[in-house]
Amino acid sequence: MNRPAADTPADTFVPRERRRGTWLVETLEHVYAVVRIQLAWLALTLLGLVVLGIAPATCAAADALRAQRRGELTRALPLMWASCRRELLPATARMLPLLVVQLLALAMLWQAAAGLGSNPAVMAVLGTLAAIAAGWAAVSLAAIAVAPRVRDQHLLVTWRLALLMPGAVPFRSFALVALLAAWAVLCSLAWPLALLLGAGLAIDMAVGLLGRRITVLLEDLSGQAPARL
């Protein structure tokens, strides 16, 4: 059976209606929320010794950012702590293999860019394949993190859906990969920015580009062929 949906916050979390203001005030409030979520993500990732912490912390950050985009003022740490405990094993099992693939692809891409191989043509081909694999894995990981309906399926179904998502939403996937690459370069040049906003803003990009779109797509597919989901 599928795991219970994680669309609603924990029982201890009571959302409050957000006061509407100017676009500047709302932007500043959102950036402040991203900073709080980023710091909570960092703490939870380190608490899980990175390997066991990064996947549930990322899903927890996505849950908090989705709540923020719904217009709710969230207490980031309590909400993320509850989500992280719930997702500790399920999210790790679903995301860790894709994280390994992404790390290997990025290592191969770095090797190709550094020109460490003896044959430039071969390294160019390997670099291209590595870039495609890294980008595809990044979108698949984002799909698991930002769409509870993807991660709440059986393990193999989650992997199948996640691996199909870059092809199902190609323009949004390409935009996400391009934004993440540019953001990674910027963060590498300014480490205080990476500390305050790094993963939080990256997850926020994924939520904005993929979260609602994947939910609608899966709802449409479920209505056409419920047995496949």
Q: What secondary structure letter does DSSP report for 12?
A: T
What was the pLDDT predicted at 73? 60
Q: Hey, what are 127's tokens?
A: 């670099």
Give the residue, 210 or 70, on which the prediction is more confident: 210
pLDDT tens figures, 44-77: 999 999 999 999 999 999 999 999 988 876 688 9
What was the pLDDT predicted at 117? 61
Helices (H), 147-189: 148-151, 155-168, 170-189
Q: What secondary structure letter does DSSP report for 114?
A: T
Could you write out the DSSP letters of every residue in 31-64? Answer: HHHHHHHHHHHHHHHHHTTTTTTHHHHHHHHHHH
∠ CA 2-213-100, nearest 5°, is 65
| Burial environment of residue 160 by CB neighbours within 10 A (0 to 12, 13 to 18, 19 or more) | middle
Q: Are 33 and 181 in contact, with CB atoms under 8 Å apart?
A: no
How many beta carbons lie within 10 A of that of residue 110, not counting itself? 12
Residue indicated by tokens 């934004």: 179
Which residue, among 36, 31, 29, 27, has the nearest Cα to 61 in the 3D structure?
36
pLDDT tens figures, 1-52: 455 444 444 444 445 555 556 888 888 989 999 999 999 999 999 999 999 9
What is the mean predicted confidence (pLDDT) over 137-160?
95
